[in-house]
Structure 1
Amino acid sequence: MKICLHTLYTINKNYIGGVERFMIKYAKEMKTLGHDVFIVCSSLNKEINIEGIKVLGIVPQQYIDKYKLYNSSSNFISKEILNNKYSVEKLRELSNYCLAQIADIEADIFHFNSFASNLYIPAKKKYFVTNHENEKEYDSKWGVGFFNFMSSLIKDKKTYLHNYDNLYVPSIYYSELFSKLFDLKISSIKLGIHLEDFQITRIGNKNFKEKIKLLFPSRFRMAQKGHIIALKACKILKDNDFDFEIIFTGVKEHYKNEVSSFLEKVNFYNLTTEVKIKNYIDIREAYEQCDIVISAERFCSYGLSISESLSYGIPTFLSAIPTYQEIALNYAHAYFFEPENPSSLAKAIIDYISNSDTKKINNEMIRFRINNDLRECAKKYNSIYNSSI
């Protein structure tokens, strides 16, 4: 079976964020099953190979000159196609842009990754959509009120989504929420970890008399990811004389303005010695070098980074949002704190360091890996593909 995975955004070798990483890993699993899998994205790089997966960059001819004016596909889409507005006309143009991207592509299956991009793409049996954005992500990306506008259109059956048989999200929480808001069936199929790419290279007890290495493996979208919550918690750690450093990752070109604001806060909290910003082409390097992972997200559609850290057996400190609880509740190396509460985060870390018992982590890591194997996700979609064509 020939499978085309589609994303509006750019996938390149120099930065692989969470959704992009999932698409690559998922493609590898489907390829292992025997399928011919490739990805179509928005990029001027016509064809690259990432981890054995062909990634085609396609910007429709009528958009190329305008595309070159922007430093990212996100900025191009929000400013040029949607024009920083949301209307039926603009959403139709977004769908037409996607259709133009795949116009010359031959495949048995087309798997898209956003409800917004498919609102005005006519349904076909070979079209599937797994949405990786929640209501708050839509609003932060395309303007406050966007999600409510889109949701009303869908519920009033003014889009094509009611004609689709195969609409998915990665979590039960969002499948139930979207099904209710849209008045149509949204199914859940959870993602998972490509276990062969996340083989265990680090097992052992940490001596917390040494410097503690914290990792914050999230995109630099502060309003969503909770960077300042982590900084405030780190200030509490410093005030309690803990010796640590924390690495923040995920700086894409269009997040650079946020970095400047972030560094001002670093100075304000007197954390210039402790805070590092570093990008990783391969996030596994970051996991292998850290002792503790922090994710202070306010909202998240799934949680690939926390799944990766838990699959490595790394103590992972998580805001108690619904999708994180769905993934990590009842695993002994997952430590929850009250969302948006730096004191709760700091206390959780201090309690762990003071009373750490890593003997059980190996078994918990194995249990997590068994329950979050990406092969199960691939097999479920494979079965759905086969029954639909």
Structure 2
Amino acid sequence: MKICHIITTLGIGGAEKLLLYLAKEQSLSHEIHIIYLKNYDGLVDKFPKNVRIYHIPNDWKAFYKIRRIIKNINPHVLHSHLGHADWFSWVSTIGLPVKKIATIHSTGFKWNKTDLLISLFYRIFLYTIAKKAILVCVSSTVANFVKSNFGLPDSRIYIIPNGVPDIIPRTKAEQQQIRRSINIADDDFIIIFVGRLQYPKSVHTLVDAMSLITDNKLKCILVGDGNLRNELELQVEKLLLSDRVFFLGKQDQPDAYIDIANVLVLPSVFEGQPLVLLEAFRAGLPVITTELDTLKEVVTERYNGLFFEPENPQELAASILEFVENPLLREQMSINARNTFVEKYDIKKYVTRLEEIYESK
């Protein structure tokens, strides 16, 4: 089967990483092409050599260029990811006999004028030039959002949770080496955050929670970068946490740091279905995260994680201390987290369900 994916960027983000994992699996038995629009290409070199990649800048000429590429490839399926890519794929292929699939990764609407206009365009396109397009939603929350805001029937909506590939865990010796490389002792308790240092992730809440805990053996590592890094570094310095909170920046292998952690904290005020939760479960790592509907579909309270109220550092600190002080709870949740990954979130399950949609009439 010929499959062409189109995505807004190939920078380092959740939707982009999901496409990378998907392409690696699909390229084992299919011909895969990928078009990306914006000039963020941090993941380009990670794709298999037999995946053909095209960069088409998202200006007005892009419609004609994409159409020409699609006509040359003649794919069975055109699968778009993220808003810009949905629109470019649908407009560029008017009249072409290609099956259209779009993955909706989140409910990322703030309902300002721009988002209201975006919602209107989706409604128009999905009943005109993309009237046969199928939408794949990463969760029931996202699917309900699509139904209510885009007016689509159930027959055009499928729910497939995200997936990540399984990996061989690092040995104890490798984990000790990683700890020493960032000056963390073998008996330190590690809290990890992985993601963008931007407002929706609410990392400042985690820093505030760390300031409420006096245990010097409790360390926090922040893996990722973003426009709030300087502000967060000043917050850490002001709260005298520089010897307990560490900024590691972007990392090619964030899973190396997940492997050495004791618990992952995701203090977001908004999320779709973040891959980092699945990557934590893969490593048998329990999580502490906020009570968002999308996250409640992944995390089960006191089974594989704990919840706290968004932007409430006192609640977060209490949850962290519960893990620190209750190793039996932590051990059982670790087992449950790994089981959750195996049962639901292996990328092979995702690919199988997606290809059933590709092949359906």
TM over 0.5: yes
Does the Cα contact within 8 Å between 1:172 and 1:188 map onto a contact in 2?
yes
Equivalent-residue separation in structure 2 for 1:377 and 1:151 (angstroms): 27
Does the Cα contact within 8 Å between 2:281 and 2:337 map onto a contact in 1?
yes
SS at match of 2:298: helix
Give the one of 318, 324, 342 matched to 2:289: 318
Equivalent-residue separation in structure 2 for 1:165 and 1:40 (angstroms): 18
Q: CA deviation at 1:146?
A: 2.0
Q: CA deviation at 1:127?
A: 1.9
Q: How does 1:1-389 map to 2 (within 5 A)?
A: 1-11=1-11, 16-32=12-28, 34-42=29-37, 43=39, 49-50=45-46, 52=48, 54=51, 56-60=53-57, 93=60, 97=62, 100-101=65-66, 103-105=68-70, 106=73, 107-119=75-87, 121=91, 125-136=98-109, 139=110, 144-155=112-123, 160=128, 163-185=131-153, 186-195=157-166, 198-201=167-170, 210-221=187-198, 223-237=199-213, 240-251=214-225, 255=226, 257-278=227-248, 279-329=250-300, 332-357=303-328, 358-361=330-333, 363-368=335-340, 369-388=342-361
Equivalent-residue separation in structure 1 for 2:242 and 2:134 (angstroms): 49
SS at match of 1:273: coil
More displaced, 291-300 or 352-361?
352-361
The root-mean-square deviation of aligned C-alpha atoms, in Å, is 3.0
SS at match of 2:289: strand
Q: CA deviation at 1:224?
A: 0.5
Does the Cα contact within 8 Å between 2:169 and 2:259 map onto a contact in 1?
no
Unaligned runs of at least 5 residues, structure 2: 173-184
Equivalent-residue separation in structure 2 for 1:188 and 1:98 (angstroms): 29
Does the Cα contact within 8 Å between 1:214 and 1:293 map onto a contact in 2?
yes
Amino acid across the alignment from 1:6: I
Q: Report % sequence identity.
A: 18
Cα distance, 1:179–1:385 mapped onto 2, change above 3 Å: same
Q: CA deviation at 1:259?
A: 1.7
Q: CA deviation at 1:173?
A: 0.5
Q: CA deviation at 1:202?
A: 6.2
Cα distance, 1:99–1:271 mapped onto 2, change above 3 Å: farther
Cα distance, 1:161–1:317 mapped onto 2, change above 3 Å: farther
Amino acid across the alignment from 2:32: V
Equivalent-residue separation in structure 1 for 2:292 and 2:40 (angstroms): 37
Amino acid across the alignment from 2:246: K
Q: CA deviation at 1:177?
A: 1.4
Equivalent-residue separation in structure 2 for 1:331 and 1:2 (angstroms): 44
Equivalent-residue separation in structure 2 for 1:334 and 1:290 (angstroms): 14
Unaligned runs of at least 5 residues, structure 1: 61-76, 82-92
SS at match of 1:247: strand
Cα distance, 1:341–1:164 mapped onto 2, change above 3 Å: farther
Describe the superposition over 1:183-236 as per-residue Cα deviations: whole angstroms up to 9, x where unpaired: 1144321112212xx333469xxxx99322221101122x11111111111111
More displaced, 163-172 or 36-45?
36-45
Equivalent-residue separation in structure 1 for 2:343 and 2:299 (angstroms): 13
Amino acid across the alignment from 1:316: V
Equivalent-residue separation in structure 2 for 1:190 and 1:356 (angstroms): 30
Does the Cα contact within 8 Å between 1:44 and 1:59 map onto a contact in 2?
no
Equivalent-residue separation in structure 2 for 1:148 and 1:268 (angstroms): 40
Cα distance, 1:234–1:300 mapped onto 2, change above 3 Å: same
Describe the superposition over 1:255-286 as per-residue Cα deviations: whole angstroms up to 9, x where unpaired: 3x422222222222222222222121022112
Describe the superposition over 1:140-182 as per-residue Cα deviations: whole angstroms up to 9, x where unpaired: xxx9432222223444669747613311221110111121111
Does the Cα contact within 8 Å between 2:3 and 2:78 map onto a contact in 1?
yes
Cα distance, 1:17–1:289 mapped onto 2, change above 3 Å: farther
TM-score by length of 1: 0.76
Aligned length: 333
